[in-house]
Amino acid sequence: MRRPVRRAVLAPAGAGLAVAAGLLLAGLLTDDGGAKAAPGGRAGGAGGISTAAGARVLDPGARRDAPTLAGDDLDGRPAGLAGLRGHVVVLNVWGSWCGPCRAEAEDLARLSRETPGEEVRFLGINTRDPDRAAARSFVREHGLGFPSLHDPAGELLLRFPPELLNPQAVPSTLVIDRRGRVAVAIGGAVTDEQLRPLLARVVEEEP
């Protein structure tokens, strides 16, 4: 049975994500830069994220640079983080074999379509899929319009500190700020309603 589509609150055209931030942040984020659990999960502690829909929001002064990520996408074209500096980036780790990845894929596809490209870019890391054909089929099925690096052995995942990205936790999602630092870490499947206010918070930061 097809699950119901969740409708997220959207900012008016031209307003960026500021309105969405004002409407949604209060229910998910603490005032001191920490994070409450997104609905259905709990916030991660000092060790990072261990439960689905748990989000860790890092204070700007405590953020680490994201590692260099570069390679070929699922169609053999070059892709990576270097060309996305200056944008907020949603980095999603997924595999075609992963049930929770299927559960979140349409939400990510919808959010990527509804988010202004001049503010936010999306990049995937497809992991543990030795066959690109299976991964491309997943992309077509779920309407993912953003590129994904092909990382069948999980080598790219090992470049991240494990407290920010556990290579065994698939799916996972990171939000990277305009300066190339990890601002939000989420372990487990995430919905657009959970991710949108966290993303809005980083978008509204001063460059």
| CA proximity to 66, closest of 148, 154, 153, 165 | 165
Q: Give the DSSP letter of residue 70.
A: E
| CA proximity to 207, closest of 143, 118, 140, 146 | 118
Q: Give the DSSP letter of residue 51.
A: S
pLDDT at 49: 32
Give one DSSP letter per residue of 108-135, joined into a string: HHHHHHHS-TTTEEEEEEEES-S-HHHH
Angle at 102 between CA 35 and CA 7, to 5 degrees: 60
Strands 172-176 and 88-94: antiparallel
Instruction: Read off the pLDDT of residues 46-90 as tens digits, 9 standing for 90 and up.
Output: 333 333 357 899 999 999 999 999 999 999 999 999 999 999 999
Adjacent-strand bridge partners of 48: 45
pLDDT at 116: 87
**Helix, strand, or coil (residue 178):** coil
pLDDT at 53: 53
pTM of the shown model: 0.76
Please say whether the beta carbons of 118 and 81 come within 8 A: no
Q: Chain-wide mean pLDDT for the chain? A: 80
Q: Does domain 18-203 have CATH number 1.10.10.10?
A: no
What residues of the chain score a pLDDT lower than 50? 1-52
| CA proximity to 182, closest of 197, 163, 158, 167 | 163
